[in-house]
């Protein structure tokens, strides 16, 4: 989990939005790797726990799944990862920075 979190923070992996037309909290985000895929989603679409982190094998079969309850350290890491992935996949930071730059310019 720590390696996945670190790779995401350092832009070494690229997550994709499976349903970009949905609001960010309702989306499922995927990371394709050499021998499988990692998916992260918010179970109830409110951006708060519970989250689900699913690992799929090469054929798409579920190899492992972690469901959070919000109660321990791994839950916090998965929640942080979801927020980071949702913002990155939708370029939220860039859009917000651009809007702030526009507002900072004299009219």
* Residue ranges per structural domain of the chain: 2-104
d(CA 62, CA 40) in angstroms, rounded, equals 13
**What pLDDT, in 10s, does the model give residues 29-80?**
999 999 999 999 998 888 888 999 999 999 999 999 999 987 788 888 999 9
Written as six digits, the tokens of 91 are 């370029």
Per-residue three-class SS string for 39-77: EEEECCCCCCCCEEEEEECCCCCEEEEEECCCCCHHHHH
pLDDT at 93 over 80: no
pTM: 0.79
Contact 24, 15 (CB under 8 A): no
Instruction: Report the number of secondary-structure helices (H) and strands (E) in the chain.
Output: 3, 5
């Amino acid at each position: 989990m720590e390696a996945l979190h670190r790779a995401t923070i350092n832009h070494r992996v690229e997550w994709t939005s499976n349903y970009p037309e949905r609001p960010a909290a309702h989306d499922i985000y995927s990371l394709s790797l050499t021998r499988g895929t990692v998916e992260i989603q918010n179970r109830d679409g409110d951006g708060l726990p519970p989250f689900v982190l699913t690992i799929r094998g090469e054929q798409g079969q579920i190899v492992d799944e972690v469901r959070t309850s919000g109660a321990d350290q791994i839950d916090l890491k998965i929640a942080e990862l979801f927020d980071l992935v949702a913002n990155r996949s939708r370029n939220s930071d860039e859009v917000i920075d651009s809007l702030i730059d526009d507002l900072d310019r004299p009219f």
